[in-house]
Structure 1
Amino acid sequence: MNFTRGESHVLESVVAAAQLLGVDLDAKQQAQFQRYRELIELRSKQFNLTGHKTWDKIREELFIRSLRVLSPAGGNVPTPEWFAGKRAIDIGTGAGIPGMIMKIALPDLQMTLLDSIGKRTNFLIEVANELELTGLEIINGRAEDLGQERGHREQYDVVVARAVARLAELAELTIPFAKVGGTVILPKSQGVQDEVEEAAAAAELLGTAPALVLEVDKPGTSPPDDMVYWMKISTTHREFPRRVGIPHQSPLILQSDDE
């Protein structure tokens, strides 16, 4: 695929962002990012894929900000190499954020994209076909249902979800997918500590160690993210996740004795 000078210039920032994380995008991957961008712009005109309509916003808020999930923050926090050969799932992926970005950047990553809206999953199937991606599963469904299925329950090394709910609700929608020893990674806007404390009892009940929260401000020029990490240390009780809608209506929040 040949790029115009302008396209080549703006794509260079995506390449540089990936390099900052230790990921070198080859010509094929760069072409995949470019085509993905074109498909997002094209299909967003037909139905609401994302609120970001310009290439500048797509590049910064969707592409580069999604790469932060791969940020090498040190210690037990995953680096790009840590993801190699892992099985991951993106809950409530929407237009493929961040799961599709992770898959293009790390082709060996076995990725499942889950969304409840058929138009979005149909779009993702189109993207997968156009980009000739393998090792990618796209599912139209609800986390509450899929999280109870044998082929998906406690089968993933990495579980991600971006901006789909508060942490107390996300805990029940994500943790049941992680195998013991797996990690749930949740990018959130800054100032997440109240949510972390609110969700602490739920995370413990569902089988994780206390959350690790790290500020990640690179790559890109978007505001810093608070990256929330939950490490799965014990199996999740069969009761969870509960039926569709219940985690949203009645999240697992510890009530005080006088309530």
Structure 2
Amino acid sequence: MDDVKKLFTELLAERQLQLSDKQWEQFETYFRELVSWNEKMNLTGITEREQVYMKHFYDSLSLSFFVPMSELSTIADIGSGAGFPSIPLRIVFPHLRVTIVDSLNKRIQFLNHLVQSLGLEHVTCIHGRAEDVARMNGQRDSYDLVTARAVARLNVLAEFCLPFVRKSGLFAAMKGADPEEELREAAFSLRQLRGVVKSVASFQLPIEQSSRHIILIEKVGATPQKYPRKAGLPLKQPLIGAPR
């Protein structure tokens, strides 16, 4: 067992997660495909193997430390980029049905190739803006868990993500630095979009000890019809204070 595999296995075991040989091979394939495709398009600035396993794979799986994945059925990953956190979660929790939304078609092409290379079923990759996809049939108010990792500030993320969440489902915003200011800033946005902060979990990534925070927001009602606003508006005019 090489050092990276040993470290990754031990860290997951501390969280009561154990990989089969097949799952380990899927992570190795993921790493190889990520590095290979990254030479043709910008997927990540992190390509060293241990760093990919810690800063991408382990970081993605950290969501399962605070959300009981065994109790969930459907996940949507908004602005997934190279597939984080949804693909690592799908590898470790194969019962999940995953929908990935990304606005860049090249990334969707990579993700479709990756899903095929890993032999994953029940993973759907959709090219489109979150504001538009949220209004498609079967997307609105539909998912047990919706997540976004380092995509935008929380008041913007709420409008991207909460429309996808079913009533009583969860929106998980994965953040680096302390999100206290973002939480204050997002108070109005969350009220408008029927979200209530359930908890804020904090931990440190192994080895480099960088800070991570996961904000869990419960959806307490159906998304009002006026949200999300048309594509581009949430970023240009975030919901702060009074509606715009």
Q: Same fold (TM over 0.5)?
A: yes
Alignment partner of 1:187 is 2:174:
yes
The Cα of 1:79 is off from its aligned counterpart by 2.5
Please list every run of 5 or more consecutive structure 1 residues that lacks an aligned counterpart in the other structure: 73-77
**For structure 1, which segment, 60-69 or 212-221, has the greater mean C-alpha deviation from structure 2 after superposition?**
212-221
Query: Quick one: structure 1 residues 67 and 222, their matched pair in 2 at CA, closer, same or farther if it must change by over 3 Å?
Result: farther
8 A Cα contact 1:65 1:219, kept in partner = no
212, 216, 220: which one aligns with 1:233: 220
Mapped to 1, the partners of 2:4 and 2:145 lie a distance apart of 30
8 A Cα contact 1:64 1:220, kept in partner = no
What is the percentage of aligned positions where both structures have the same residue?
Answer: 31
Residue aligning to 1:64: 58
140, 162, 175: which one aligns with 1:153: 140
15, 18, 38: which one aligns with 2:32: 38
TM-score (norm 1): 0.89
Alignment partner of 1:137 is 2:124:
yes
Mapped to 1, the partners of 2:197 and 2:161 lie a distance apart of 15
What does 1:196-211 correspond to in 2, within 5 Å?
Answer: 196-211=183-198
Mapped to 1, the partners of 2:10 and 2:121 lie a distance apart of 25
1:120-159 Cα deviation digits (max 9, x unpaired): 1101111111111001111111100011122100110000
1:52-78 Cα deviation digits (max 9, x unpaired): 121122111101111111114xxxxx2
Residue aligning to 1:75: none
Residue aligning to 1:19: 13
Mapped to 2, the partners of 1:140 and 1:20 lie a distance apart of 36
- What CA RMSD, in Å, does the superposition of the two structures yield over aligned residues? 1.5
230, 235, 238: which one aligns with 1:248: 235
Equivalent AA in structure 2 for residue 147 of structure 1: A
Mapped to 1, the partners of 2:59 and 2:197 lie a distance apart of 25
Alignment partner of 1:53 is 2:47:
yes
1:87-124 Cα deviation digits (max 9, x unpaired): 00100000001111111111111111111111111011
Equivalent AA in structure 1 for residue 50 of structure 2: D
Moved over 6 A (4+): none
1:175-222 Cα deviation digits (max 9, x unpaired): 000000100011111221000010011111101123521212366644
TM-score (norm 2): 0.94
> How many residue pairs are counted as aligned between the two chains?
242
**For structure 1, which segment, 15-24 or 53-62, has the greater mean C-alpha deviation from structure 2 after superposition?**
15-24
Residue aligning to 1:10: 4
Equivalent AA in structure 2 for residue 160 of structure 1: T
What does 1:93-172 correspond to in 2, within 5 Å?
Answer: 93-172=80-159
Mapped to 2, the partners of 1:18 and 1:121 lie a distance apart of 28
Q: Hey, which of these two has a bigger chunk of strand by percent?
A: 2
Q: Secondary structure at the match of 1:71?
A: helix
Alignment partner of 1:82 is 2:76:
no
Mapped to 2, the partners of 1:177 and 1:222 lie a distance apart of 33
